[in-house]
C-alpha cells in the first residue's frame, strides 16, 4: 500500500512536469486549426461547399483577410457569454497561432 502511494506521488510529479513543459511551448496553430476549425473549413483550409466556408488558400481571399482584426474578433467571440465551441477556452496565444496558421495557407506555396 505504501509503495503504491509512493508510485502514485511520483506519477503526479512526472505528469505535472510534463504539463509545465507543454505549457511553455508555443501553441501549434496547425494542430489547433485541425481540432477546432477543420470540421467546417477543411483540413487544408480550402473550405467545404456544404458549409459554405471560404477558401483560405485563395490569394484573393488572403488579400482581403485582415489577420490582426480577426484575432480581435475571435477573442471577442471567446469572451462572449456563450462562446461557440470552436473558440471556447482558447488562450490568447492559441488564437494568435491559429490566425498565423491561416495566413500561411496560400495556394502559391504548393
Ligand atoms: C461550425 C462551423 C465552423 C467552425 C467550427 C468554424 N468556422 Fe469559420 N466560418 C464558418 C462559416 C460558415 C463561415 C462563412 C460565413 C461567415 O462568414 O460567417 C466562416 C468564416 C470564417 C472566416 C472568414 C472571415 C469571416 O469571419 O467571415 C474565418 C477567418 C474563419 N471562419 C475562421 C475560423 C477559425 C479560425 C475557426 C476555428 C477556431 C473556425 N473558423 C471554425 C463556419 C465555421
The pLDDT tens digits for 1-11 are 666 666 666 66
Please name the residue that has the C-alpha cell 456544404: 50
Cell of 107: 495556394
Q: What is the pLDDT of residue 90?
A: 98
Is the pLDDT score of 109 beyond 60?
Answer: no
* Ligand 1 cavity residues, CB under 6 Å: 36-37, 39-41, 51-54, 70, 86-87, 98, 102
| The three cell numbers locating residue 8 | 502514485
Tell me which residue has its CA closest to atom 11 in ligand 1.
53
Output the average pLDDT for the chain.
88
What is the pLDDT at residue 11?
63
**CA of 23 relative to ligand 1 center, distance in Å:** 26
Burial class (CB in 10 A: 0-12, 13-18, 19+), 9: exposed
Output the residue whose Cα is nearest ligand 1's atom 1: 40
Residue 25 CA to residue 18 CA, distance in Å, equals: 11
Q: At residue 12, does pLDDT exceed 80?
A: no
CA-to-CA distance for 33 and 107, rounded, in angstroms?
17
> Which pLDDT score is estimated for 1?
63
Q: Lowest-confidence range among 8-17, 29-38, 42-51, 77-86?
A: 8-17
Amino acid at each position: 500500500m505504501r509503495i503504491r502511494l509512493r508510485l502514485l506521488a511520483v506519477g503526479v510529479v512526472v505528469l505535472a512536469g510534463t504539463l509545465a513543459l507543454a505549457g511553455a511551448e508555443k501553441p501549434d496553430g496547425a494542430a489547433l486549426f485541425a481540432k477546432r476549425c477543420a470540421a467546417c473549413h477543411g483540413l487544408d483550409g480550402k473550405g467545404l461547399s456544404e458549409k459554405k466556408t471560404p477558401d483560405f488558400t485563395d490569394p484573393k481571399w488572403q488579400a482581403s483577410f485582415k489577420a490582426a482584426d480577426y484575432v480581435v474578433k475571435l477573442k471577442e467571440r471567446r469572451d462572449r457569454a456563450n462562446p461557440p465551441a470552436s473558440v471556447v477556452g482558447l488562450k490568447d496565444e492559441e488564437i494568435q497561432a491559429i490566425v498565423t496558421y491561416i495566413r500561411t495557407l496560400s495556394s502559391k506555396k504548393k
